[in-house]
């Protein structure tokens, strides 16, 4: 009785899964997700026992939406979301018209895949350059206009309410700032204002818990003082780590500089970006640049931003 409906929706689901599968296979290069999509597609395609009858009832000429041109997609995220919606809606139709729980199970598996794939695409990338850290919204906005790679709002002495107020203010510049905005320590503030991520020290909550709270689409940075700490953070899922303080700095009172040993090993032993930081200014940046760190962090040397960019071989950019 419903053979035409079932046929149309099995085709719709299989086609949508194939579009998503091709992205996972050829663009994301994610074998695990690709295999899950292949399995789902085959499961749906082979899920009915009266396939010849469905095929016989297929009526392309009588389908009101046959040969309808596809809607233009503004981005790969829009493309994926449209096809995920097509798949889940088709599975719901199949579930309702057949009463087969197979389609219900498949639908929830697709919901999970959509979360994983789309949120991963939404995660900002960590580019090479200077990472500017400040308590001042004006300094951070200025840094973004002068070509900084990341900016971080950090204030160890202010009240939490004051940091929240400044975080809200900083996020009002979101449309004009094309680089990640990070909040230091306060994951609740980062979540509340919609920042791109959080950076925390060794004494903060585990990275795995932070990931559960933030989701896969946010950045997590971790302060590390040794290769052992860096590798632990990397294994736990940090997106980047800081390496330092290289030299003594007022921003880390009472902590001695760790020197250059850890930095000299980082390119070889870490697979995530790292930030060389601690007492950096134009007088010593050349000593760091020879290790080719992906990022150099500055707190007090904002007036030397362009000099430090030049030492890294990065042209100054004005936004």
Report whether 17 contacts 44 (CB < 8 A): yes
Check residue 288 and give its pLDDT.
95
Please check the confidence at residue 318 and state whether its pLDDT lies above 80.
Answer: no
The matching CATH number, chosen from 1.10.10.10, 3.20.20.70, 2.102.10.10, 3.40.50.720, for 129-311 is: 3.20.20.70
Q: Is the model more confident about 45 or about 23?
A: 23
Q: How confident is the model at residue 64 (pLDDT cuts 50, 70, 90)?
A: low
Report whether 92 contacts 105 (CB < 8 A): no
* Distance, CA of 253 to CA of 279 (rounded, Å): 11
Q: Which tens digits make up the pLDDT trace of 278-288?
A: 999 999 999 99
**Is the four-CA dihedral 49, 51, 57, 61 of positive or negative sign?**
positive
Q: How confident is the model at residue 4 (pLDDT cuts 50, 70, 90)?
A: confident
Please check the confidence at residue 226 and state whether its pLDDT lies above 80.
Answer: yes
- For the full predicted model, state whether its pTM sits above 0.75: yes
Lowest mean pLDDT of 158-172, 249-263, 281-295, name the range.
249-263
Token pair of 183 as six digits: 């909040």
Percent helix, strand and coil across the chain, each rounded to 5?
50, 10, 35
Check residue 51 and give its pLDDT.
55
Check residue 72 and give its pLDDT.
85
Report whether 21 contacts 36 (CB < 8 A): no
3-state secondary structure (DSSP) of residue 270: coil
The DSSP bridge pattern shows strands 240-243 and 219-224 to be: parallel
Check residue 319 and give its pLDDT.
42
Domain segments of the chain: what residues?
A: 3-122, 129-311
Q: How confident is the model at residue 256 (pLDDT cuts 50, 70, 90)?
A: confident
- The rounded percent of the chain whose pLDDT value lies above 90 is 82
Nearest residue to 179 via CA among 154, 209, 208, 146: 146
- DSSP string for 187-226: HHHHHHHT-SEEEE-TTSS-HHHHHHHH-TTSEEEEEESS
Helical (H) or strand (E) element with 150? strand 150-153
Nearest residue to 94 via CA among 79, 106, 82, 80: 106
């Amino acid at each position: 009785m419903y053979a035409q409906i079932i046929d149309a929706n099995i085709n719709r689901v299989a086609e949508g899964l194939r579009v998503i599968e091709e992205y996972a296979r050829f663009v994301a290069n994610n074998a695990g997700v690709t295999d899950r999509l292949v399995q789902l597609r085959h499961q749906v395609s082979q899920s009915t026992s009266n396939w010849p009858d469905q095929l016989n009832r297929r009526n392309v000429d009588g389908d009101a939406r046959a040969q309808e041109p596809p809607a233009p997609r503004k981005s790969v995220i829009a493309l994926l979301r449209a096809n995920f919606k097509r798949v889940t809606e088709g599975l719901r139709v199949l579930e309702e018209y057949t009463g087969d729980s197979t389609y219900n199970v498949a639908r929830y598996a697709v919901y999970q895949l959509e979360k994983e794939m789309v949120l991963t695409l939404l995660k900002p990338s960590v580019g090479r350059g200077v990472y500017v850290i400040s308590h001042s919204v004006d300094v951070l906005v200025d840094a973004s206009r002068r070509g900084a790679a990341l900016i971080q709002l950090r204030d160890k002495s202010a009240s939490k309410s004051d940091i929240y107020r400044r975080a809200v203010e900083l996020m009002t510049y979101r449309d004009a700032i094309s680089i990640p905005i990070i909040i230091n320590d306060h994951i609740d503030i980062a979540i509340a204002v919609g920042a791109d991520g959080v950076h925390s020290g060794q004494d903060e909550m585990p990275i795995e818990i932070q990931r559960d709270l933030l989701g896969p689409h946010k950045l997590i940075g971790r302060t590390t003082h040794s290769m052992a700490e860096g590798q632990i953070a990397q294994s736990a899922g940090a997106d980047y780590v800081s390496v330092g303080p290289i030299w003594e700095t007022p921003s880390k009172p009472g902590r001695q500089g760790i020197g250059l040993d850890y930095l000299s090993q980082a390119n070889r032993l870490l697979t995530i970006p790292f930030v060389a930081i601690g007492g950096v200014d134009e007088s010593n940046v050349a000593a760091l640049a020879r290790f080719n760190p992906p990022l150099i962090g500055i707190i007090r040397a904002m007036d030397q931003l362009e000099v430090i960019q030049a030492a890294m071989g990065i042209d100054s950019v004005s936004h």
